[in-house]
């Protein structure tokens, strides 16, 4: 294995003696998983993705064997290739969503044996759904007697199932179903209304909270869309308890940030990633996405609260307690994809109940979660103003001063590849038709003669995306994977009959406007654009190579007590097309990492993450599940998987054995869950 190369990376060896006396926060709050189970998507309601298990450790990780595999092909009318789920484990049963119809399966945690399956046939409503396929998982609830599984269908209905039998809970909604397109303070067409959800419900204190998601918004169908309101429901009855208007109605706080009555028709502004909950504070944390139009906001002048805003609301009433807007009037699709993480930290001797929000823009925003005050200063700084007709530009944006960004931001000539002078020269020529600039450089109107688009980094897919990070409540380290990839921001006139004004696109000779053009993927799950799938970075290539320098994927550890990066390593073997590129022959290229999305798991001693791409490994074509010493970032072992990680890993203990489950698949490999354990 190649060593990561020091020019890219920071290495800090933490003081183990300090760490060992760190106190553990309350279990269930942000203390990671308990009893060796994994009862929520993020391990717990704090989204730590942390488990204190340590049977699998640095010395034996490489000996992991496949415990069982669960193929998902037959859970829908055709095989799926995009399994993003993290299973849950409670009382010896693994629960997961899978398959093109988003079936729920209950599996014996020891053997993978299918115990029951449930799916809904939603017909046209599902065919029209903006968020299709298997989704990210489900929620588990118990009052100690009854156990329920809750999930949202592709057609946007909330289903409650008896966890033991898989049968719908008769007393919940209408025979186990709450139609989420109803009772939403707006009219939504049941069949065609653009709203759905890939994320899981979040349940705490008998309240189940549901987000909202829409079609990707580079080329909206118009300026009007369904609004992504957030609601809380009674987990026993399905009764709606509250709703939070992410686009405030007239008379509500923030309504004035929507000029020219744009709040009336503008939609989106949902919460399509995972939510977080602090049961003690009684707060739910909503990472809100941007409003309709990912790259053009001329139809919604103003700063657009609560677009790209972290909002804390009361979990019993939905009342707003505090909020913080990360991007004013967003036009970069820097919506909040990653789960917010609750972390109890100590900064300069002061204990802080914090919340840390990883972002596509590669900043980790850290607040006191009781009141929304930044833990370290976040300052408003001027940003470049664009000249797109009709656009409304915010003169400033908030800049995080600490911790440092975990990935590169902005594009300059220095960012271009320089493996050889020839490659650098080609890259310089390539970018000459684009506008370059620092973070928050806005989109341009695309012109054939140039600029074709703004090159910006991170791209709309991040940085980090929906898998988010992990947090270790014992060491107060935060871990996250991010990709280093530029995107193109070009605008073309909206097609005939579309009142969105300008939409994402690249001008081409003889090419009419419209289409999705340069809008690099980012939400849905279409996060890995074609070039990434081919192995390199960037959407533009130089002799088949990404035009920016590696690493293309990295794992960062941040000491949250200090707000410093503790270590950073490239994650993912160098893609085949780079390793084998003739232009690089004779050069020693350190491990470049891989672009994509990669969720992490942190245990007692390890950070575990799979590769987001397949390469030619010593075991054949496949991807490695890698384990790093969580204190140093040193790789301690790797296990072969027949396909890339597509969903974030989780772990649990059953009958004295630790298991790790990871969702894999993609390309031509149909999705499956693979469970690993040590040999008996």
E strand or H helix that includes residue 516: none
Looking at the DSSP bridge assignments, the partners of residue 34 are: none
Closest CB to another protein among 149 and 452? 149
CB of 92 to another protein, least distance (A): 13
Place of tokens 């998902």: 72
DSSP secondary structure letters along 119-154: ----HHHHHT-SS-TT-S--EEEE-SS-EEEEEE-T
The C-alpha atoms of residue 399 and residue 83 are separated, in whole angstroms, by 34
CB of 619 to another protein, least distance (A): 17
Closest CB to another protein among 73 and 314? 73
CB of 118 to another protein, least distance (A): 9
CB of 113 to another protein, least distance (A): 5
Q: For residue 46, which of 321, 208, 275, 207 has the smallest C-alpha distance?
A: 275
CB of 659 to another protein, least distance (A): 14
Q: For residue 157, which of 179, 189, 184 has the smallest C-alpha distance?
A: 179
CB of 671 to another protein, least distance (A): 13
Closest CB to another protein among 76 and 222? 76
Closest CB to another protein among 203 and 661? 661
CB of 109 to another protein, least distance (A): 11
Q: For residue 668, which of 609, 622, 630 has the smallest C-alpha distance?
A: 622
Closest CB to another protein among 404 and 642? 642
CB of 162 to another protein, least distance (A): 12
CB of 78 to another protein, least distance (A): 7
Closest CB to another protein among 12 and 115? 115
The C-alpha atoms of residue 623 and residue 635 are separated, in whole angstroms, by 15
Closest CB to another protein among 69 and 260? 69
CB of 146 to another protein, least distance (A): 19
Query: Counting every residue, how long is the chain?
Result: 680
The C-alpha atoms of residue 67 and residue 111 are separated, in whole angstroms, by 7
Q: For residue 437, which of 482, 394, 359, 383 has the smallest C-alpha distance?
A: 383
CB of 115 to another protein, least distance (A): 8
CB of 96 to another protein, least distance (A): 12
Closest CB to another protein among 54 and 113? 113
CB of 160 to another protein, least distance (A): 17
The C-alpha atoms of residue 295 and residue 92 are separated, in whole angstroms, by 46
Closest CB to another protein among 107 and 203? 107
Closest CB to another protein among 107 and 219? 107
The C-alpha atoms of residue 443 and residue 437 are separated, in whole angstroms, by 11
Closest CB to another protein among 110 and 222? 110
Query: ∠ CA(565), CA(570), CA(575), 5° rounding?
Result: 160
Whether the upstream peptide bond of residue 551 has omega within 30° of 0, thus cis, is: yes
Closest CB to another protein among 96 and 355? 96
Helix (H, G, I), strand (E, B) or coil at 653: strand
E strand or H helix that includes residue 422: helix 421-431
* Contacting positions for another protein (CB under 8 A): 68-71, 73-78, 99, 101, 103, 107-108, 110-114, 116-117, 167
Handedness of CA 339, 105, 522, 626 (dihedral sign): positive
132: CB partners within 8 A, 6+ apart: 100, 126, 154, 196
Closest CB to another protein among 431 and 641? 641
Q: For residue 282, which of 204, 170, 339, 226 has the smallest C-alpha distance?
A: 204
Evaluate whether 665 touches 672 at the Cβ level (below 8 Å): yes
Helix (H, G, I), strand (E, B) or coil at 578: helix
Q: Alpha carbon 547 to chain centroid distance?
A: 25
Closest CB to another protein among 62 and 78? 78
Evaluate whether 571 touches 626 at the Cβ level (below 8 Å): yes
Closest CB to another protein among 167 and 412? 167
CB of 117 to another protein, least distance (A): 6
Closest CB to another protein among 24 and 114? 114
DSSP secondary structure letters along 72-95: -GGGSSS--S------EEETTEEE
Helix (H, G, I), strand (E, B) or coil at 183: coil
CB of 62 to another protein, least distance (A): 24
CB of 121 to another protein, least distance (A): 10
Q: Which of 528-540 are b and which e, b meaning 16 or more Cβ less than 10 Å from the residue's Cβ? A: bbebbbbbbbbbb
- Locate 630 and state its tokens: 């969580």
359: burial class by Cβ within 10 Å (0-12, 13-18, 19+)?
A: buried
Pairing of strands 396-400, 378-382: antiparallel
Q: For residue 200, which of 661, 676, 672, 647 has the smallest C-alpha distance?
A: 647
The C-alpha atoms of residue 522 and residue 462 are separated, in whole angstroms, by 7
The C-alpha atoms of residue 630 and residue 19 are separated, in whole angstroms, by 12
């Amino acid at each position: 294995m190649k060593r990561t190369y020091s020019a890219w990376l920071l290495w800090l060896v933490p003081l183990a003696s300090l760490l060992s006396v760190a106190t553990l926060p309350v279990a269930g709050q942000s203390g990671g998983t308990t009893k060796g189970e994994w009862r929520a998507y993020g391990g717990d309601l704090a989204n730590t993705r942390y488990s204190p298990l340590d049977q699998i450790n640095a010395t034996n990780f490489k000996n992991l064997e496949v415990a069982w595999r669960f193929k998902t092909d037959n859970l829908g009318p055709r095989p799926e290739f995009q399994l993003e789920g993290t299973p849950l484990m409670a009382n010896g049963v693994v629960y997961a969503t899978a398959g093109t119809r988003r079936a729920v399966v209950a599996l014996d945690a020891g053997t993978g044996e299918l115990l029951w399956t449930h799916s809904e046939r939603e017909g046209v409503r599902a065919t029209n759904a903006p968020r299709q396929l298997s989704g990210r998982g489900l929620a588990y609830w118990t009052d100690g007697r009854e156990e329920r599984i809750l999930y949202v269908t592709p057609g946007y209905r909330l289903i409650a199932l008896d966890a033991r039998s898989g049968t719908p809970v008769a007393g919940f909604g209408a025979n186990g179903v709450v139609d989420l397109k109803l009772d939403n303070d707006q009219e939504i067409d049941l069949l065609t209304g653009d709203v759905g959800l890939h994320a899981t419900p979040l349940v705490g204190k008998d309240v189940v909270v549901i987000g909202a998601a829409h079609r990707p918004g580079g080329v909206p169908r118009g300026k009007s869309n369904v609004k992504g309101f957030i609601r809380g429901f009674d987990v026993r009855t399905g009764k709606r308890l509250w709703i939070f208007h992410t686009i405030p109605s007239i008379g509500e706080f923030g309504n004035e940030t929507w000029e020219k009555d744009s709040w009336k028709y503008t939609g989106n502004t949902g919460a399509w990633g995972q939510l977080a909950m602090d049961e003690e504070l009684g707060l739910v944390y909503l990472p809100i996405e941007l409003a309709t139009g990912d790259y053009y906001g001329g139809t919604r002048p103003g700063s657009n609260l609560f677009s790209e805003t972290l909002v804390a609301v009361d979990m019993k009433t939905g009342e707003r307690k505090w909020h913080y807007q990360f991007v004013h009037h967003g036009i970069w699709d820097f919506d909040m994809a990653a789960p917010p993480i609750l972390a109890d930290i100590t900064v300069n001797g002061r204990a802080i109940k914090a919340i840390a929000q990883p972002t596509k823009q590669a900043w980790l925003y850290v607040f006191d979660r009781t009141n929304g005050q930044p833990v370290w200063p976040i300052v408003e700084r001027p940003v470049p103003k664009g000249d797109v007709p009709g656009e409304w530009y915010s003169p400033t944006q908030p800049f995080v001063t600490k911790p440092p960004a975990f990935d590169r931001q902005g594009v300059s000539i220095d960012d271009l590849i320089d493996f050889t002078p020839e490659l650098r020269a080609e890259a310089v020529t390539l970018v000459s038709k684009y506008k370059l600039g620092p973070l928050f450089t806005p989109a341009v109107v695309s012109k054939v003669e140039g600029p074709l688009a703004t090159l910006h980094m991170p791209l709309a897919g991040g940085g980090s995306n929906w898998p988010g990070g992990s947090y270790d409540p014992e060491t107060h380290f935060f871990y996250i994977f991010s990709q280093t990839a530029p995107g193109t921001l070009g605008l073309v006139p909206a097609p005939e009959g579309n009142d969105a004004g300008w939409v994402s696109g690249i001008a081409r000779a003889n090419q009419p406007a419209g289409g999705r053009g340069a809008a690099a993927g980012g939400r849905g799950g279409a996060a890995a654009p074609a070039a990434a799938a081919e192995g390199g970075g960037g959407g533009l290539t130089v002799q088949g190579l990404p035009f920016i320098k590696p690493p293309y994927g990295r794992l960062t550890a941040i000491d949250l007590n200090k707000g410093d990066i503790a270590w950073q390593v490239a994650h993912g073997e160098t893609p085949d097309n780079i390793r084998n590129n003739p232009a690089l022959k004779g050069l020693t290229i350190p491990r470049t990492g891989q672009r994509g999305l990669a969720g992490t798991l942190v245990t007692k001693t390890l950070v575990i993450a799979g590769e987001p791409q397949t390469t030619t490994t010593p075991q054949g074509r496949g991807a490695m599940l890698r384990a790093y010493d969580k204190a140093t970032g040193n790789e301690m072992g790797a296990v072969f998987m027949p396909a890339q990680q597509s969903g974030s890993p989780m772990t649990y203990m059953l009958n004295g054995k630790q298991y790790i489950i990871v969702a894999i698949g993609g390309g031509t490999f149909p999705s499956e869950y693979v469970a690993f354990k040590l040999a008996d």
